[in-house]
A and B are shown apart, each in its own frame.
Chain A
């Protein structure tokens, strides 16, 4: 069985604390680990993924015992861990479980933030690196392509990546619901703080036009303004500059309110009623809660945003159930393919295909030759049979001759492709002419 020869070993954010993961971090170049893995005897195909939340090796081996040990030693070689600790922090999946694991990772169901989109890109990069080193073969090639299409299916069929899962993204998403396009909009940053700066960065990535930075100390404002290529203003100027901006992010340490309803109300007219999105991430609050009652003013404080994120997270968890069903389905399909990746089933499939073609063509021809006697018909059928058998003889022999396991896989994959016995990994349009 091929299925049991697929294995995954690794650590992730669920099994190991960051102190352990960072010991395994393979820096930068991925050629060295791939080459080391390839050098392990019995490791027919392999692929290596290293991100900040996981380090794992997926490999195909017929020998198991020794190879598994060697891969494990490679992975934890640089770490100062006892055997027992390694067992505790790492996971090992084999066969169906390994396939399911890869699909779950690709579909971002195993991520720290379920549904985050980066993992698929990281997976694709890891695959490109492995392919460049020639460390993948017919099984991993197909398995990884399948993993990409599973991820795509999960993304289109469930709403797993729907709502923002962090406060700063929630703010960006809200801004998009209010303003549509963010290009050309202006932001005012009052006070500084990690979260405020992060939100500003996300907004700039969305095409925000200009950033005004206000701070108690003008010097700090000027520094921040430089990083955002914006303008620095002083705190007393804040109210008078409101008509110029569309989004305000406030996070000062002030105990007093910075913007009051009565100050903003007259300015709305001056703004020609253009909407104003106020984000208050300070505790205690900077912005008057009553501001939300003004027309075209939308005020969100830190609790509101946290709520949004919590709701989104539970929404994602609900969607994850549906996504897991998709993964289960695809794992079964992949197993089916693996089972067919044997000599016996492949020969049977080729026979079935050829016999079907033969019968079809015979029926067509005999329908046109109505004058033939029974004997002649037999002869024509005999002719068709022997042509098919002769044509198939050499491919069958080629399949049956003994050779090394990885060569055999290559052969099977090639023959199956030649006779078009499988769907393409995307599951559609097998023929591209």
Chain B
């Protein structure tokens, strides 16, 4: 049942992305409304899919790569939708939805098998720690998109060659604000994720910090974003630099998610 729902969500993501890209190309207002509605529907289907998976496997579905990446995509979608409450950023959807769709494809290609929960993961901290960490990734992806959009828009303004993006993307100021807000939320969640993780580690493994590769890389990622936020407040690392930092930080976050699990050995590695 949850598999069927997953296929449905994947299809909904592909269609929504197509709708956003059509809106990007054609700038047809009707298409924009269609795309928004489709994304909302996609978000709802995906939520139902995750709940169904939860009922099927009997524990929080965040323990395999398939489950974690699907939840990652879900966080992006709802992070994006939560922003839409407060303000609109033109054509943000055309950048965000492809990323969510790619994640869903990765989730689709990884094993859907249901694992028995290893004893170390049988804890109430599992849903808390894992979901917060993945939601942090969701908002950091939004910051990444804002950074990419900023660099594209800035290049056209600096080079005075107005092409695809100048009229389609919002002002540099709006993109920088978007980057800042996304990083601020993502960073707070990440801090909370690391904190809950270390409390859980104390309970499960006896000490707060192990310098296990996942922990180390999470710390590196955290430091990148901490530097970005700090420098923004003190010496005004804004706009272009903030955009670049958000992109670098996102690469580090992805490495923490996958690189560590597949390339480096560690006690976190049973997630995969």
The interface of chain A, by Cβ under 8 A from chain B, is 156, 159, 162-163, 174, 176-181, 269, 271-275, 292, 295-296, 298, 300, 304, 307-308, 311
* Chain A nearest CB, measured from B246 CB (Å): 16
Partner of B171, one of A162, A163, A179, A295: A179
Are A300 and B160 in contact (CB-based, < 8 A)?
A: yes
Q: What separation, in Å, do the CA atoms of A360 and B142 have in the docked complex?
A: 57
Given contacts A273-B236, A273-B238, A295-B241, contact A177 B160 (CB under 8 A): no
Given contacts A272-B235, A272-B236, A300-B160, contact A178 B241 (CB under 8 A): no
The interface of chain B, by Cβ under 8 A from chain A, is 27, 29, 153, 157-158, 160, 162, 166-167, 170-174, 177, 235-241
Query: Among the interface residues A176, A271, A273, A300, which one has the most CB atoms of the partner chain B within 10 A?
Result: A273
* Chain B nearest CB, measured from A253 CB (Å): 25
Are B162 and A178 in contact (CB-based, < 8 A)?
A: no
Additional 19 contacts, C-beta under 8 A, given A163-B167, A273-B241, A296-B239: A159-B27, A177-B153, A177-B166, A177-B172, A178-B157, A178-B171, A180-B173, A180-B174, A273-B238, A273-B239, A274-B238, A275-B173, A295-B239, A295-B240, A296-B238, A296-B240, A298-B158, A300-B160, A304-B160
Residues of B contacting A296 in the complex (Cβ-Cβ under 8 angstroms): 238-240
Residues of A contacting B29 in the complex (Cβ-Cβ under 8 angstroms): 156
Q: What separation, in Å, do the CA atoms of A274 and B236 have in the docked complex?
A: 7
What are 7 A-to-B residue pairs whose CB atoms are below 8 Å?
A177-B166, A269-B236, A273-B235, A273-B236, A273-B237, A295-B240, A307-B160
Q: What separation, in Å, do the CA atoms of A308 and B167 have in the docked complex?
A: 12
Partner of A275, one of B160, B177, B239, B241: B239
* Chain A nearest CB, measured from B144 CB (Å): 20
Residues of B contacting A273 in the complex (Cβ-Cβ under 8 angstroms): 235-239, 241
Residues of B contacting A308 in the complex (Cβ-Cβ under 8 angstroms): 160, 162
Given contacts A162-B167, A178-B157, A298-B157, contact A275 B172 (CB under 8 A): yes
Q: What separation, in Å, do the CA atoms of A308 and B170 have in the docked complex?
A: 18
* Chain A nearest CB, measured from B92 CB (Å): 15
Are B171 and A176 in contact (CB-based, < 8 A)?
A: yes
Are B27 and A311 in contact (CB-based, < 8 A)?
A: no
Residues of B contacting A292 in the complex (Cβ-Cβ under 8 angstroms): 158
Q: What separation, in Å, do the CA atoms of A159 and B27 have in the docked complex?
A: 9
Q: What separation, in Å, do the CA atoms of A26 and B237 have in the docked complex?
A: 59
Residues of B contacting A162 in the complex (Cβ-Cβ under 8 angstroms): 167
* Chain B nearest CB, measured from A303 CB (Å): 9
Residues of A contacting B162 in the complex (Cβ-Cβ under 8 angstroms): 308, 311
Are A178 and B160 in contact (CB-based, < 8 A)?
A: no
Q: What separation, in Å, do the CA atoms of A271 and B239 have in the docked complex?
A: 13
Residues of B contacting A295 in the complex (Cβ-Cβ under 8 angstroms): 239-241
Residues of B contacting A179 in the complex (Cβ-Cβ under 8 angstroms): 171-173
Query: Among the interface residues A159, A174, A300, which one has the most CB atoms of the partner chain B within 10 A?
Result: A174
Given contacts A295-B241, A304-B160, A308-B160, contact A177 B236 (CB under 8 A): no
Residues of A contacting B236 in the complex (Cβ-Cβ under 8 angstroms): 269, 271-274
Instruction: Please name the residue on chain A nearest to B177 by beta carbon.
Output: A180
Are A177 and B27 in contact (CB-based, < 8 A)?
A: no
Residues of B contacting A178 in the complex (Cβ-Cβ under 8 angstroms): 157, 171-173
Q: What separation, in Å, do the CA atoms of A273 and B158 have in the docked complex?
A: 16
Q: What separation, in Å, do the CA atoms of A274 and B237 have in the docked complex?
A: 9
Q: What separation, in Å, do the CA atoms of A97 and B1 have in the docked complex?
A: 64
Instruction: Please name the residue on chain B nearest to A300 by beta carbon.
Output: B160
Q: What separation, in Å, do the CA atoms of A292 and B157 have in the docked complex?
A: 10
Instruction: Please name the residue on chain B nearest to A311 by beta carbon.
Output: B162
Instruction: Please name the residue on chain A nearest to B28 by beta carbon.
Output: A157
* Chain B nearest CB, measured from A158 CB (Å): 10
Q: What separation, in Å, do the CA atoms of A152 and B171 have in the docked complex?
A: 26
Are A177 and B241 in contact (CB-based, < 8 A)?
A: no
Are A177 and B158 in contact (CB-based, < 8 A)?
A: no
Are A177 and B157 in contact (CB-based, < 8 A)?
A: yes
Query: Among the interface residues B27, B153, B170, B236, which one has the most CB atoms of the partner chain A within 10 A?
Result: B236
Q: What separation, in Å, do the CA atoms of A346 and B234 have in the docked complex?
A: 76
Instruction: Please name the residue on chain B nearest to A179 by beta carbon.
Output: B173
Partner of B173, one of A156, A181, A311: A181
